Homo-oligomer: A and B are copies of this chain.
């Protein structure tokens, strides 16, 4: 699914800019930390976030990742949310903190945050550079 020559972008610490469909059918987009497990793009959310509500309503999603070493090289991945998993012990978000911050524990966790992991199944890509 992911072109071989762009797979390296999925193992960088680039941010993924994730686009979802808002309540009025409008596009919304913001940057997130992500992990690629070879099959799915994964990212963390809290259950109160707009993005999670958007995806419950419409599971279509697109994400754009730019090569940190070359701003003229990027991949866009479009797909759907394949599943959502709980992250009760914060294993996933702590792993993201390790990847992006180099620390063992995600420092911004709030006691009432319910963390989930969203799995995106790629269906289509576009790329440049």
The chain A residues found within 8 Å of chain B, CB to CB, are 15, 17-22, 25-31, 58, 60-64, 66, 71, 74, 76, 78, 126, 128
Q: Pull 5 A–B residue pairs with CB atoms less than 8 Å apart, ordered by A.
A: A17-B29, A20-B27, A21-B26, A27-B78, A29-B62
Q: A31-B64, A64-B30, A64-B31 are in contact. Are A71 and B25 (CB under 8 A)?
A: no
**Nearest-neighbor residue (CB-CB) of A26 within chain B:** B60
In the bound complex, do residue B66 and residue A15 qualify as a contact, i.e. CB atoms below 8 Å apart?
yes
In the bound complex, do residue A28 and residue B78 qualify as a contact, i.e. CB atoms below 8 Å apart?
yes
- In this complex, the member of A20, A27, A28, A66 whose beta carbon has the largest number of chain B beta carbons within 10 angstroms is A27
In the complex, how many angstroms separate the beta carbon of A74 from the nearest chain B beta carbon?
6
Contacting residues, chain B, for A62 (C-beta < 8 A):
19, 26-29
In the bound complex, do residue A25 and residue B21 qualify as a contact, i.e. CB atoms below 8 Å apart?
yes
How far apart sit A129 and B66, CA to CA, in the bound complex (Å)? 21
